[in-house]
Structure 1
Amino acid sequence: MSLGRLLVALYLVLCGTTVQAKDIVDYTADMRKYGGYHDFYWDVSTGRVLLQVEEFEREFLLLTGLAQGLGSNPVGLDRNQIGESRLVKFQRVGNKVLLHQLNARYRATSSNPAERRAVEEAFASSVLWGFEVMAQGSDGVLIDFTPFLLSDQHGIAVRLRQAEQGNYSVDKSKSAVYLPRTKNFPKNSEFEVQLTFTGAKPGKYLREVVPTPTLVTLRQHISLIELPDKKYQPRQFHSRSGYFPFAYRDYASAIDQPLDQRFIYRHRLEKKPGSNEVVEPIVYYVDSGVPEPVRSALVEGASWWNQAFTAAGYKDAFRVEILPEDVDPLDVRYNVINWVHRSTRGWSYGYSVFDPRSGEILKGNVTLGSLRVRQDFLIAQGLLQPYVGESADTEALKAMALARIRQLSAHEVGHTLGLAHNFAASTKGRASVMDYPAPLVSLVHTDMDLDKAYATGIGVWDKLAVRYGYGTGKDEQEFLDSVIREAKEQKLRFISDPDSRAINNAHAVSHLWDNGNDPLVEFDRMVELRRHALNNFSTAANPKSAPRSDLEETLVPVYYGHRYQAEAVGKLIGGLDYDYLYNDAEQNSYTLVPAERQQQAIDTLLGTLSPEFLALPEQVLQLIPPKSYGYERTAESFPSYTGVAFDTVALGEAAAGHTLSILMDPQRAARMNQQSARSSEIPGFTQVLNQLTSMALQSEQYSGLQAVIHQRVNHVYIQRLMLLASDRKAAESVRAKAQLELATFQQALGQKKLFGEDPQGYSAHYYFQAKRIEAFMRGELEVKAEDIKAMPPGSPI
């Protein structure tokens, strides 16, 4: 056969295949049709979902979520969790349909198609799935959507592996479509499946929450969502606006303009012509599964945002309601505040589903951990000691916990409005709900006062931020500039996560879980509160019906109550004060913390290493027995070396480790070295090490339990020195000073009389440390940070 005849024959075969393809109407005759954004059919006989694709090359939003979570905060796979917003389209190639994710990070906003195509072809995209055409008709083709739905589109297996919980994969024989929450609407199609993951050697967290840990069953939700029209107007990002940046690279930018374009994430909010009333208000719905009185607290706290929108010139632009029973929380049309249960206390989150083309927020999705309210109640228990007599009054405790829930509700909703954390807000009273507040407890004579533990209402910073994001003016740029100027005039500062969250951050005034505008003053106040609470700690901290051994967990947040304010003090050391300045600013780029305040901060933290600070009162030690039968130690318990017995020394070791991690952080140490080189008045890292070594050698000052605690602090100090000396990521000057201090300590021990009568055990202690240093210097001792006991988790409060 000639080549020509062969091509003709092949063409006829292909044409015949097309003609003989089944018709959609005939193919789906026995199936249930779900009409909506993408029509689909349910084949009950095979358990398949068949999707009808009517338009190709039409862009839409693909969204994943979890309808049923794992219940473990460390793993982070929570109920009603929202995944990545992906811009996709269907493409047909012969008998195949591709689901194609577009790359929205690189673009050319040009009217020239060739210019746009040049960018599209320069960067990779992602084909997420390929489907075979099952049937076709005049209004599109039919594809089997089931294999895609039953695949791990949310990244569950990856998350389990990242959390070191084992290697898992989808078991298709144990997975199926979940029809009760598979629905269709005019602008969004919703699909849900029950996925079972199989694996071996499950990790600790899976064993805690899954009945058969080698089989993990969750429900994955997938949404196909119509993109909004293009009438939304993006708003320019400013580093001091308080918003998350939505960014992309525009290769059509003029040469004298930046390539990277930055806007803010925000909801679309429009006024009716000539009125302050809105075309469509922003409505948030609270999960109907939240119990009272927490539900009312969530509604009230989230509703605070209407104060900000009113101040921005809108009437009734924001409201909060209870989610109707017939509404799916993962439906993109509803902004939802979800109530999430986990096996342990954990974080709450505010996510947004957004248009990847513009940053327009389409759905706010908040997940609030249900155990958060109990942590505040626990803190109040240890401070107020309410369980005296037969009828305990816990109203003040519940009021404090609910006050925190209101603030938390407002905080997470703020994220879904586009707002970032503002950790500098506490320097101006309580200027923002976007800060992380510590409970502000006062000591009035001999009583603890919780009345002002948490603020009520939206903050002054929040009102200004909402004006920037949602307010309007005749000239938009002039209006936005005026809001930034007003913030400066009111001395309202904005500093967010990159400059605040880590313990080694350099910013001197931006902290988490702190209060007040002077870290040193607030620390002294909190130390007095801590001292009073420890001296008065008793069985009245817990209900009469609770096991006596549970007092240990109630004592934890009291004993470690200084931990976050200590971090705030630590940021003064080698610290800088700065704002997110633009080049038109007249002020200096930054200022160094004055030498006197740096030394005060050093002395303050050194005080937390003293045995007097770390030792528990004897009456408290006599309170806490081994765990009662049927109860066990948890992650919320104190660390211990002593088996079932309460370990009063290990809890001091953990506290000392925390302080020393602040004082001896390698980045902070490097800043100290450089700052002291620039100004001889500023204390350098050498001075800190000298003070620590001097404290470690004060063997004659302590006896009894204080001597034992002193020796344990010394052990932690030597461990930290060795960690620093061996840290290859640390600056050479820092490692050098740490090594020299080890040698200095070793030499000082060589001059001590280590033998003879020694009732306090210092001879054995110093001998052991000398041998450790010697082994380390010879390269025979490997040290790890995990060798030191850690505090139980304090975050999130």
Structure 2
Amino acid sequence: MLVMLPASIPWIVPSMGQSSAKPAQKPTAEPDRSQLRPFDDVIKETKTIKGLFTLYRNEKNGKLFAEILPDQLERNYLATMTLESGIGQSGIYSGLPIGDFLFTFRRVNNNIQFVVPNIYFRAERGLPIERSIQRSFSDSVLQSLSIRSIHAERKSFLVELNPLLLSDLPGLLPVLSATLGGSYSPEASASYFETVKAFPQNVEVESVFGFTGGDKGVDAPTYINTLPDSRAFSLRVRYSLSQLPENNGYRPRLADDRIGYFITAYKDFTNDNSRRPFVRYINRWNLQKQDPAAPVSKPKQPIVFWIENSVPLEYRDAVRDGALFWNQAFEKAGFKDAIEVKQMPDQADWDPADVRYNTIRWFNSNDAIFAMGPSRVNPLTGEILDADIMVSADFTRVMKEDYRTLVEQNQMRTAPFVSQLVGNANLCNYGMAARSLAQTAKAQEKKPIPRLRFGSHLGNYQDLCFGVDTAKQFAVGNMFLGIMQNELPSSPERKAFAQEFMRELIAHEVGHTLGLRHNFHASAMLKPEELNNPAITQQRGLTASVMDYAPVNLAPLGTKQGDYFTHRVGAYDEWAIEYGYTPIDAKVPQAEKRELDKIAQRAPTPELAYATDEDVTTLDPKVNVFDLSGDLLTYAQWQLTNAREMWNRVNQRFPVEGDSFNEVRVAFNAVLDYYFQYSLFLPEYIGGQYFNRFKAGDAKGRLPFEPVSVEQQRQALALINQYVFSEEPFRFSPDLLNKLAPSRWAHWGSEPTSNLDYPIHDNILFLQSIVLYDLLNYDRLARLRDSELRVQAGQPTLTIPDLFDSLQSSIWGEVTNPKDNLKLSGLRRALQRQYMNAMISMILREVEVPEDARTVARYELRKLQKSIDRAMRKVNDRDIYTKAHLEEAQDRIGKALEAQLRSQ
């Protein structure tokens, strides 16, 4: 269904509630009335449900009919689909939005087609290009419904909805088969309509789908922990069919990439001379002042969120406060009390999935911790129509059970934390390092989980917001209060900590429902020494935006603790709301654009810096998830030191008499994960560049790319050598290591670890290897090479030889400068092998690196070979480990160098 756009006013989409042009199609013939039954006969024994569409439900045979009036044909409506019940596992969770899209009813001969119009391509009405677009881009006809009857007076059409709403309209089947590991099929006899309601502007239909199957073979049936019998289960899908708002005064607002909003975009073919063929609107609510002349006014219709009655009582105040954080930003945009929060009654006569209500909902699962704040948007204009925030009940379980939710599951001996990292790729900035490690290890690639047809969140974990890593921040902070500040679990301080956490989480998700994207630069606002000064943080916040993933703020040893989580929206949040919601009295788009540009041109202000999901790479060390402060080198060092002291306290205080020794293992792993988190920030300074989104003229004398100083790069290397490659931080007492007992519960929902003992060498080596391969990945080495061209003549820069020399001196230092009775520990030998393997892989072309890196790797290996020759004379003959290690290294390096020469 082509949507035409008038050239004079590009922010107004014509006929928002109805399609503006009909595609070419065969003439619609009069239906063969001999095949139609009388209207009253078809609806006999049905219950009439009047609303946007009049529905007729026959509860005896399960059929549901809809009456479609002639003027309801060829009009655009919005369909939203929500998974109202799940199985609590493998991404099949209750409350997940599984799609929203525009649709229209089109009559073709004896059928009413259910059509999703193609709105991605538009043009001004009446132009010749209109005909070409109609022929070039197809609509999607999802179902043809036979006309069962035509009303004699109203001329309305009666169709049966069962073939549409009891079919796999959301596309669940391929997702179920992929995520659950078995083939499932719908069971017609177990599928039916549950709740059916109709209102003047929307229709709500709840379909129950029965599924059976699951066998992967006779010897390998599917096993789903959360089901009493894995061969059958039911899912409920809520369909909301609603009328699009018309003539409500909403004006689409053009987007600007200096500020982070979700956008609605289409390609405009009106003018082929345009350098920017895409028109991009920000997604936002229709807020209008009651008093347009007042500087600050209440809105005509505030944004109302309902706290679902499933939210635990102890968190309802925090949920309310977190949502209301945003009124501070809206007041600066001219609105007072733009957001209201109400409590859903325990005996409410409405359902949270009803599109007329914006809700904050809790859900339960057996294997997931996440929150998300999706919204439903008019795809023609970007107007937000509905939003439902989902929060996993497991967040609160983490709060109540301290750090116990971090118990190891499915641990792998060679890479015990890989499953956690890969399973949360959207939350952990380990992409390049993990990719290089996987490339070297030739790890098996997994097939992606199929997406649902309408861009759903189901089966697409990178769309989920916050997750297990957020819960880890809470858990480590909660443990910090207990072992570092001696706070009891029932203390007011621990309770206040939980409320701080929940307020920030809810504020973040509400921000998404207001149209805002992540801003992963916001956590770099304050200096490290300012983070624990309440006079500063209460005034400005811990971060410039609650749309970042901020970690728990733990004060360094000897410093008084400040705020753990932010207490307010930040400067960036206020600026973004100002851009999106400030009323602008403009008659044409360009006049509004001039006013918007004045707002956006403040982008170079440090606390307004913006970087979102696609900017989280290994380039900019200030753009990360779960980092904090504008000087991450200092802050990371504080947290690495904190972690080492926390290990000492764990050894001293755990386990409490009567508790399992598994408590020690869980706490130890929690701190190791925290240590891992801050170690991985350090490599990003090497070859790093700060990236700015501002435009030409915004900041004179500044360019989009600004290299990280050589001094900071060298400082980062020194910290890596001290905290990651050195064995000193990992000298744990034998008593502590011998306490690390695993949980041995074995039943549904609880899988024991495959190994009883704790693989301490493997865990440490994995941490070191990730950092090492991150330093040696192609992109970083290429940046180091390119940086020699990016700096002004005579200015210092870190080079590939500098990096390789630093690594070799750090990792092989005992060998390159040997002392008498040279002795290498198991940790050192393992790390040295990893370095040697990486260098050999480079010169043998087993990995892709810049050619300069290959030649320098060969140079370094030859130097190392000579050092090993000298060091061999310093080894005690009885130290077989060291002698064997050096002999092997000498032999492998020699063969690799010889193999390289032969290949050339």
The alignment's TM-score, normalised by the length of structure 2, stands at 0.76
Which residues of 2 match residues 388-467 of structure 1 at below 5 A?
Answer: 393-429=490-526, 430-443=543-556, 445=558, 451-467=562-578
Which residues of 2 match residues 232-631 of structure 1 at below 5 A?
Answer: 232-253=250-271, 255-256=273-274, 258-273=276-291, 274-275=293-294, 276-324=297-345, 325-373=348-396, 374=398, 375=471, 376-385=473-482, 393-429=490-526, 430-443=543-556, 445=558, 451-474=562-585, 476-489=592-605, 491-500=607-616, 502=617, 504=618, 506-538=619-651, 540=653, 546-585=659-698, 586=700, 587-607=702-722, 608-628=724-744
CA-CA distance at 1:759 after TM superposition: 3.3
| Code of the aligned partner of 2:883 | S
Equivalence for 1:143 = 159
Equivalence for 1:664 = 776
Percent of paired sites with the same residue: 24
Q: Distance in 2 between matches of 1:623 and 1:563?
A: 21
1:759 aligns with 2:879: yes
Q: Distance in 1 between matches of 2:823 and 2:92?
A: 45
CA-CA distance at 1:533 after TM superposition: 1.1
1:200 aligns with 2:215: yes
* Greater mean deviation of Cα atoms: 677-686 or 516-525: 677-686
Q: Distance in 1 between matches of 2:231 and 2:895?
A: 43
Q: Distance in 2 between matches of 1:721 and 1:204?
A: 45
The 3 A distance-change label for structure 1 pair 278 and 545 is farther
Q: Distance in 2 between matches of 1:360 and 1:15?
A: 38
C-alpha contact (below 8 Å) 2:664/2:741 kept by paired residues: no
Equivalence for 1:68 = 85
Q: How many residues align?
A: 753
Which residues of 2 match residues 654-693 of structure 1 at below 5 A?
Answer: 654-676=766-788, 681-693=796-808
C-alpha contact (below 8 Å) 2:371/2:389 kept by paired residues: yes
Deviations 1:390-412 (A, max 9, x none): 97655433332321111010001
The 3 A distance-change label for structure 1 pair 399 and 16 is closer
The 3 A distance-change label for structure 1 pair 398 and 168 is farther
| Code of the aligned partner of 1:625 | A
| Code of the aligned partner of 2:381 | S
Equivalence for 1:154 = 170
Equivalence for 1:126 = 140
Secondary structure at the aligned position of 2:97 is classed as strand
The 3 A distance-change label for structure 1 pair 538 and 566 is closer
C-alpha contact (below 8 Å) 1:50/1:144 kept by paired residues: yes
Deviations 1:237-264 (A, max 9, x none): 1111221232111111362462111121
CA-CA distance at 1:184 after TM superposition: 1.8
Gap runs ≥5 in structure 2 = 1-28, 399-470, 527-542, 587-591, 900-904
C-alpha contact (below 8 Å) 2:665/2:742 kept by paired residues: no
Secondary structure at the aligned position of 1:302 is classed as helix
CA-CA distance at 1:15 after TM superposition: 7.5
Q: Could you say what the CA RMSD is over the residues aligned between the two structures, in angstroms?
A: 3.5
Equivalent residue in structure 2 for 1:30, among 27, 45, 48: 45
Q: Distance in 2 between matches of 1:270 and 1:549?
A: 57
Equivalence for 1:40 = 55
Secondary structure at the aligned position of 2:207 is classed as strand
CA-CA distance at 1:579 after TM superposition: 1.1
The 3 A distance-change label for structure 1 pair 19 and 305 is same
Equivalence for 1:186 = 200
Secondary structure at the aligned position of 2:595 is classed as helix
Equivalence for 1:708 = 826
CA-CA distance at 1:306 after TM superposition: 1.3
CA-CA distance at 1:715 after TM superposition: 3.7
Deviations 1:429-465 (A, max 9, x none): 31110111111111453xx865511111221221111
Equivalence for 1:792 = none
| Code of the aligned partner of 1:465 | A
C-alpha contact (below 8 Å) 1:703/1:760 kept by paired residues: no
Equivalence for 1:783 = none
Q: Distance in 1 between matches of 2:763 and 2:800?
A: 27
C-alpha contact (below 8 Å) 1:387/1:540 kept by paired residues: no
Secondary structure at the aligned position of 1:649 is classed as helix
Q: Distance in 2 between matches of 1:716 and 1:204?
A: 40
CA-CA distance at 1:744 after TM superposition: 6.5
Q: Distance in 2 between matches of 1:597 and 1:93?
A: 68
CA-CA distance at 1:489 after TM superposition: 4.5
Deviations 1:49-85 (A, max 9, x none): 222222221111122221113423xx43332111332
CA-CA distance at 1:734 after TM superposition: 4.7
Q: Distance in 2 between matches of 1:391 and 1:404?
A: 18
The 3 A distance-change label for structure 1 pair 704 and 212 is farther
C-alpha contact (below 8 Å) 2:520/2:624 kept by paired residues: yes
1:171 aligns with 2:283: no
C-alpha contact (below 8 Å) 1:306/1:316 kept by paired residues: yes
Secondary structure at the aligned position of 2:681 is classed as helix
Deviations 1:187-234 (A, max 9, x none): 111222222343333999963434433434322222212111153201
The 3 A distance-change label for structure 1 pair 188 and 541 is farther
Q: Distance in 1 between matches of 2:896 and 2:210?
A: 49
Secondary structure at the aligned position of 1:683 is classed as coil
* Greater mean deviation of Cα atoms: 320-329 or 711-720: 711-720
Equivalence for 2:130 = 116
Q: Distance in 1 between matches of 2:867 and 2:171?
A: 56
CA-CA distance at 1:301 after TM superposition: 0.8
C-alpha contact (below 8 Å) 2:216/2:222 kept by paired residues: no
Q: Distance in 1 between matches of 2:487 and 2:782?
A: 57
C-alpha contact (below 8 Å) 2:307/2:361 kept by paired residues: yes
Q: Distance in 2 between matches of 1:304 and 1:546?
A: 41
The 3 A distance-change label for structure 1 pair 390 and 424 is closer
Gap runs ≥5 in structure 1 = 1-13, 780-797
Q: Distance in 2 between matches of 1:389 and 1:457?
A: 27
CA-CA distance at 1:485 after TM superposition: 3.5
The 3 A distance-change label for structure 1 pair 440 and 190 is same
Secondary structure at the aligned position of 1:68 is classed as coil
The 3 A distance-change label for structure 1 pair 677 and 616 is farther
The 3 A distance-change label for structure 1 pair 82 and 393 is closer
Q: Distance in 1 between matches of 2:173 and 2:896?
A: 41
C-alpha contact (below 8 Å) 1:80/1:329 kept by paired residues: no
| Code of the aligned partner of 1:67 | E
The 3 A distance-change label for structure 1 pair 76 and 719 is farther
CA-CA distance at 1:146 after TM superposition: 1.4
Secondary structure at the aligned position of 1:456 is classed as coil
| Code of the aligned partner of 1:412 | E
C-alpha contact (below 8 Å) 1:689/1:741 kept by paired residues: yes
C-alpha contact (below 8 Å) 1:95/1:133 kept by paired residues: yes
Secondary structure at the aligned position of 2:642 is classed as helix
C-alpha contact (below 8 Å) 1:24/1:136 kept by paired residues: yes
The 3 A distance-change label for structure 1 pair 100 and 346 is same
Q: Distance in 2 between matches of 1:632 and 1:169?
A: 22
